[in-house]
Every structure is written in structure tokens, then in C-alpha cells.
Amino acid sequence: MNSLTATNEVAVLNPGNLLRKAAPVCALLVLVADQISKLWVREGLLLGESIPQGGVLRITHMANPGIIFGFPAPSAVSVLLSVAAIVVFIFMYRAYVSSDSRLLNVGVGLFIGGSLGNLVDRIAFGSVTDFIDVGMQDALVRTTFNLADVCIIAGIILFGIFFVRYRLREMTKST
């Protein structure tokens, strides 16, 4: 084994290098799981159909043409906002990637994977497939969302926790 090969092997096995690959791997896993779950719903349920018929938690096939919380927006706006959010998170990730934080990598991976999952729906179908239906039986408000939405929110929360911890560490270093 020459020194160049040994150096490359050490670089590949370096935990920091492996951890930096966690964000794209996490994003890919979320994207695949999200698209499989939405395909299952689109193929298995008619639009508006629910299983079970009643209850607090149901699987209901819904098409959401809007943006966050179903807020109406032209399709071009919803696609552009999705792409802009992904780009912003990539830039934030690049700014902090040297910290080798699991919270950062998983948070960004969840956010980007979920955002890409909904973006694929917007481009392919003109709306996002939602199916996790939560609410009381006779309540006026029920909410319907999907796996991508859960991952987006979880990613934002994890990134927020990372950022607060990072800033606190930076503040204690400077004092």
C-alpha cells in the first residue's frame, strides 16, 4: 500500500467525512419514503376517500394545490418558493458544515428531502398529495398532511436546536 492509498483510506474513514454524507443520504431516504407513501395513497384510495371512515387519525387521499397550510398560490409561486427554501437551507448547511454536527446533518437532510418530495408532487401532479388526516370527529378543523411535511417541520426544529447550541458555544468561547 502506498502513502497515497493510505491517505485516501483514512480520509474516507474519517467520521467527519462520513457525517457530511449524512445530510444527502437522509434527504434521499426521506424523498424515497415520501414518494412511496404518496404512490400507495394515490393508487389505493380515491380522492377524498378515507380509511377508516371515522376517528381521530385516518388516511385520507387529498390533493393540496396550495402552499404551507393549504394557503392558495399559483403553481409557479409554489414551485419557486419550494426551490428558494431548498437553496436557503443548502447555503445555511454549507455555512455550518464544518461543525460536523449530527443535528445539522439530519435536520438539513430531513428538510431538503421533505421539500424535494413536495416539489416532485407539485411538478408532476400540480398539487401535493396529503393523506395523514388528524382531528376530532365532529370538529370544524381537521388537518391533512404527509410524510414530507413531517420531515420538513422536524428538520426546521433540529436545525433550530443546532443553531441555538452552536451560538451558545460560540458565545462561551468568546468570553
Has 149 been annotated as catalytic?
Answer: yes
130 catalytically annotated: yes
- Out of 34, 121, 133, 149, pick the active-site residue: 149
Q: SS3 letters for the chain?
A: CCHHHHHHHHHHHCHHHHHHCHHHHHHHHHHHHHHHHHHHHHHHCCCCCEECCCCCEEEEEEEECCCHHHCCCCHHHHHHHHHHHHHHHHHHHHHHHHHCCHHHHHHHHHHHHHHHHHHHHHHHHCCEEEEEEECCCCCCCCEEECHHHHHHHHHHHHHHHHHHHHHHHHHHHHC
Of these residues, 121, 130, 133, 138, which one is catalytic?
A: 130
Catalytic positions, written as ranges: 130, 149
